[in-house]
């Protein structure tokens, strides 16, 4: 498709995607704390309240369980709510609504119910916000049947994946790394919806596969540049959705390169990296020349102070080191 390209930030892409869906379908509403006139605490939603009014861009009380629950009920009865969880950490207050209600109502009702609910939640450390405002909890949702889980890494992917989330008849968790809101990317003027379960090979390469999620795709790119100088060719694969997971693309790439490094910002242990590694092992066992390296956040609550916080998140150096050790 050759629609002209333009520059847009990740945060602008989120807003544009929401606005587009709200214009398209009046059953789409947005609910959350300070999503209204304030335009969210991250200020990325400024303008939606003006355009769509307080009946469709709704400021809720500080009551995550309650308003996510309302979202479930509204979705069950004909609306297509988008619910905003300001910091992904606060998902912990709404897990019952997400997991015991939203995810299971369709199955428990034998297919009668549909729950077209999109839950936007931020993720990611890096803002010196400490342990209760920095977690990346996409692993929890990915483990629960009935939920789809999106972890976009670029503005263009946001523009393509968000409509898919809103139009999906199932509950979707859409994770936005808040450190990326200001990151710019290019995107076509109009973006077609991107189907879930299709990984994106964001850079082709032959020596090692870097499987990276969300903002870690940027880290992977930085590492790939550095490694290129050393003659090492990295393929970067972005699964884009954890559920459904495009196992084939991951396996194909790892089978081709024989080496894989996984980079995700959730805590390393029992994180999504373990699943990604497992499916690659299962599919590419005979082609792997070395054990897969899993890079994740340190298994510690995110510390406040900058030097420590920085040390807990996988960075370019970590990736470069991992790749060199693996290939060396």
Q: How many beta carbons lie within 10 A of that of residue 268, not counting itself?
A: 18
Question: Which helix (H) or strand (E) covers residue 203, if one does?
Answer: strand 200-203
Length of the chain as a residue count: 328
Query: Residue 88 binds which entry of a copy of itself, ligand TPP, other proteins, none, with Cβ cut-offs from 5 to 8 Å by kind?
Result: none
Other Cβ atoms within 10 Å of 43 Cβ, number: 12
Find the part of the chain contacting a copy of itself (CB under 8 A) among 117-125, 214-222, 230-238, 285-293.
285-293
Residue 301 near other proteins by CB under 8 A: yes
Q: Are 81 and 31 in contact (CB under 8 A)?
A: yes
Give the residue, chosen from 40, 60, 142, 153, that forms a contact with a copy of itself under the rule CB under 8 A. 142
Cβ atoms within 10 Å, residue 5: 12
Point out the catalytic residue in the list 21, 33, 64, 275.
Answer: 64
Q: Which of 12, 33, 133, 176 is catalytic?
A: 133
Closest by CA to 138, choosing from 116, 160, 122, 161, is 122
Structural Rg of the chain based on CA atoms: 19
By CB under 6 A, is residue 90 in contact with ligand TPP? Answer: yes
Q: At what angle do helices 10-24 and 155-167 cross, to 10 degrees?
A: 30
Of the residues 308, 317, 321, 325, which one makes contact with other proteins according to CB under 8 A? 308
65 binds ligand TPP (CB under 6 A): no
Stretch that binds ligand TPP, among 48-56, 86-94, 109-117, 289-297 (CB under 6 A): 86-94
Q: Does 174 bind ligand TPP (CB under 6 A)?
A: no
**DSSP for residue 187:** E
Is 49 annotated in the active site?
Answer: no
Q: Does 51 bind other proteins (CB under 8 A)?
A: no
Q: How many CB atoms lie within 10 A of CB 190?
A: 10
Pick the closest to residue 150 from 264, 243, 266 (CA basis).
Answer: 243
Options 3, 5, 37, 206; binder of other proteins; rule CB under 8 A: 37
Is 138 among the residues known to form the active site?
no
Distance CA 319, CA 211 (A): 11
Compose the 253-272 pattern: x for residues touching ligand TPP by CB under 6 A, - for all others: --------------------
* Helix, strand, coil share of the chain (percent; to 5): 40, 20, 40
Among 62, 182, 300, 308, binds ligand TPP (CB under 6 A): 62
Contact criterion met (CB below 8 Å) for 163 and 20:
yes
Residue of 299, 317, 321, 325 interacting with other proteins (CB under 8 A): 299
**How near is the Cβ of 305 to ligand TPP at its closest, in Å?**
20
Cα–Cα distance measured from residue 280 to residue 211, given in angstroms and rounded to the nearest whole number: 10
- Please list the active-site residues: 64, 133
Residues that bind a copy of itself (CB under 8 A): 65, 89-93, 95-96, 98-100, 103-104, 107-108, 130-132, 139-140, 142-146, 242-243, 245, 266-267, 269-275, 277-278, 281-282, 285, 290-292, 294, 298-301, 303-304
Residues that bind ligand TPP (CB under 6 A): 33, 62, 64, 86, 90, 93
């Amino acid at each position: 498709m050759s629609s002209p390209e333009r520059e847009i930030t990740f945060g602008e892409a989120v807003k544009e995607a929401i606005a587009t869906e709200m214009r398209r379908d009046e059953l789409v509403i947005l609910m959350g704390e300070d999503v209204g006139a304030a335009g969210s605490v991250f200020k990325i939603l400024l303008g939606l309240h003006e355009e769509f009014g307080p009946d469709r861009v709704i400021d809720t009380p500080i009551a995550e369980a309650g308003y996510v629950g309302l979202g479930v009920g509204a979705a069950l009865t004909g609306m297509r709510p988008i619910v905003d969880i300001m910091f992904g950490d606060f998902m912990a207050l709404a897990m019952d609504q997400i997991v015991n209600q939203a995810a299971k109502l369709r199955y428990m009702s034998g297919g009668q119910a549909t729950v077209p609910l999109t839950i936007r939640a931020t993720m990611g450390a890096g803002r010196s916000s400490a342990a209760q405002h920095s977690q990346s909890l996409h692993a929890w949702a990915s483990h629960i049947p009935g939920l789809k889980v999106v972890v976009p890494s670029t503005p263009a992917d946001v523009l393509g994946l968000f409509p898919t989330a809103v139009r999906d008849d199932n509950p979707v968790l859409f994770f936005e790394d808040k450190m990326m809101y200001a990151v710019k990317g290019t995107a076509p003027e109009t973006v077609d919806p991107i189907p879930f379960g299709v990984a994106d090979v964001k850079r082709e390469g032959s020596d090692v596969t870097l499987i990276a999620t969300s903002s870690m795709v940027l880290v992977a790119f930085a590492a790939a540049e550095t490694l290129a100088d050393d003659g090492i060719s990295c393929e970067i694969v972005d699964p884009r959705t954890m559920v459904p997971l495009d196992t084939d693309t991951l396996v194909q790439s790892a089978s081709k390169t024989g080496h894989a490094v996984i980079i995700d910002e959730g805590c390393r242990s029992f994180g999504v990296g373990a699943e990604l590694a497992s499916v690659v092992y299962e599919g590419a066992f005979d082609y792997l020349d070395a054990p897969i390296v899993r890079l994740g956040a340190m298994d510690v609550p995110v510390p406040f102070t900058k030097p420590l916080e920085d040390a807990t998140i996988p960075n370019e150096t970590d990736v470069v080191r991992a790749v060199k050790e693996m290939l060396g």
